[in-house]
Chains A and B, each alone.
Chain A
Amino acid sequence: MIDPIILFFLLGAVAGLLRSELRLPAAVYDFISIVLLLSIGLKGGIELARQPFVTLLPQMLAVVALGFLLSLVAFPTLRYLGRFNRADSASIAAHYGSVSVGTYAVAVAYLGSREIAFEEHMPLLLVLMEVPAIIMGIILARGLSRETRWKSIGHEVFLGKSVVLLLGGLLIGWLAGPDGLSSIEPFFFDLFKGFLALFLLEMGLITATQIGSLRKHGIFLVAFGIVMPLFSGLVGTGLGWALGLSIGGTMVLATLAASASYIAAPAAMRISVPEANPTLSLAASLGITFPFNVLIGIPIYYTMAVWAHTALAGG
């Protein structure tokens, strides 16, 4: 049975492709994404209140390394196989090393409706994975030159909307704990899937607008938008297994690795590497990778996680 939230995504995509008048006001989209980011942060924060921070340190370091690594794999692929210029390759690589909160939310909903447990502190890993690839993308485009204005870049990267809201939610959840949050639970947790459905409707509309620019940029970008997340998903699965995560947790980490950013990375790259063409990275991450992950990728990553846990653990 297909999850209804996926149907909202398809509704948006079809309406967009048919050039329907349907449009969510930008303020509504902003509001919904703020609610989603805070909900995800709060959920993770509650879990942090339950377990000692130090035990999570190896996982935290590993996902930061993963973010750097994925952008370092994507860059030469784009530069030498795809023949993109340096700035474009670096920018797209930053998008693919960073993560998509929307994809994460769909993966969580997928596990939720199948009642599969996963490590609840995943939002902490999510926020840690947002930043490294963006920094790597800027270095790949610019080199480590003295002219780079690291102060303003740091401001853009660490104080962007998604990092602030996720970290803020984590902190509030951590400080307040499960009991403290019970008063706001109906809004942030019970309505989560409703907000996610509206968010995906808008994502469908935005995805549809990217299809046109994909036609211009050709087959390589389409192939990259599918093969790169599959590769990253495989790496994420291996890492999740090695870190001793549950099947659900391994699948979430694989999804995080496979997802491509479309909130934090575009804004940061637009400011820091202005000569990179934003249509290329958005067409790939939104026009191809987001729908691929949401519709096909997530079940594949789940299968990978199950496979890793049965094959590698010997049953």
Chain B
Amino acid sequence: MKRLAWRRLLAGATLVVLVLPLLAACTTVAVPTEMAAVPAGPVQGGTWTEASSADGTILNPILASDAASFDMMPYFPGLLGTNPKTGAVEATEMAESWTVSEDSLVWTFNLRPGVTWSDGEAVDAHDFKFTYNAIASELVETPRKANVAGIESIEVIDDLTVRVTFTDLKCDGLLDLGLGWLPSHLYAEDFSDIMDSPLNTAPTVTAEAFGFKEWQRDNFIAMESNDGFWKGAPNMDGQIIRVIPEASSRLASLEKGEIDVMGLEPTQLTRVGLNPDLNIFKFKDDGYSYIGLNQANPANPLPGQDEDGNLVEQDPHPILSDKMVRKAMAHSLDYEAIINKVYLGQGYKLASNVLPAVGWAHDASIEPYAYDLEAAAALLNEAGWTDSDGDGVRECNGCATAEAGVTLSLNLKTNAGNSTREELGVLVQDQLNSIGFDIEFEAIEFGTLVGELLGQTYEMVIIGWTGLGTDPNDDSFWHSKFDTPGSGFNFVSYQNPRVDELLELGLETPGCAAEDRAPYYYEIQQIIHDEIPYLFVTGSIGNVGYSNRWEGIDPGTWSFSWNIHEWALTE
């Protein structure tokens, strides 16, 4: 479920609010008709309350790595905005405009004048430079170092102009510049106080719609509205995020009016739908669920490339390295039934790796695999996997990848506690076993699963991606250079030199125009669809339940609360 972190991507015009004089109080004075017709301004006051399943860890945008923390720190301005409906990059945040060099390596951003921190200091190019230099500093321990890996230099031309030079052309490089800026005037110039600064738990200034008020760990965080917000003072007094780990308790709180919004699970949709005080916002999320098929031998994980960048031949998985077996699996799953029974209709069939949400790069002409048990059985027979002893499990009788007599037995894992994935696992086990597989399914603790996944010591895994963002580049899943046991995300050991080449071309397209990049991603999707390193189970549909006591809420796929400063109580 995509969280409400999109709030950071505030965009849109400021609503100018005119508050009528308190004429109504003067009951003896006749109100002229013309004046009575003037609409009243938005109601002022009230507190917007959200529920989060987990507490944040730290309120510093360059140290945090979890969604809950980013939700809890809408204080730090960002360089670029995102259109809440389309996901397109827009000049709606600190960057008012920008120019790009011909080789697309040098980006010069003109910053918005007049934006200040709540203590009166200007938000300017020095804050941007300080933030990114801090990430690069050896004094700062942060997983965000990837954000500066492709940056050659950052120059402050003047207070409101900053120039970023990238080392290599990377069409999704702008996403690296998306972190919130730190108020540089509150930190030591040498970054020595960043790791243990008290500001990490209690930021004293803000340049966004809300400012920090109080944080009680594992309980709540309270934020007050920032009247000096450059897009306009919020109508509400502030917002609170309550930490409520249990989904049923969150729903009870929403129904009782103790919170105003929460991400809904499919089982909660009916109750919220029947409640006249609540609305539901449904959207195609930027994520999907899949079954990863490890094509290499889990007993002998090898990197995809050697130190010189040459492909390393993998020790193949005795069953899953056979494309015909993978294709048979793809035909054995009843996606319609899975989406309806497991996801309660909150999903959609998916043919390949680029989501419809990234419209310009998504190839809608590729059809998802059809549920066709006859075709699946024929493929397995053709591949040399037959049930010669009549025990219901096929064995290798002339197969290409395993020794004769090896049974079609595989282990399928997922993370325990995720009831949807656990249900999916049982259904998949049932459906694959029905055509002669012998699937052992187990749900294990998430940390353990992550260890096995990245260590590439598993065979099949049910997992999903979320927050894939607005760019179609997903080289970390498919490029052989990211097949690095222990840490790479190409943990299915997928190797295809053409896909490696296409991914590089898609990222390094001169000018980075969508129409020039799209053909590369179309071809990638077709190859991924044909070679089946993943069984694409369903695209994610997100549902947000929210109270109708607020007006002005205009949620988009990429941001629910982009215009939160305009929201007001209905009465």
A binds B: no
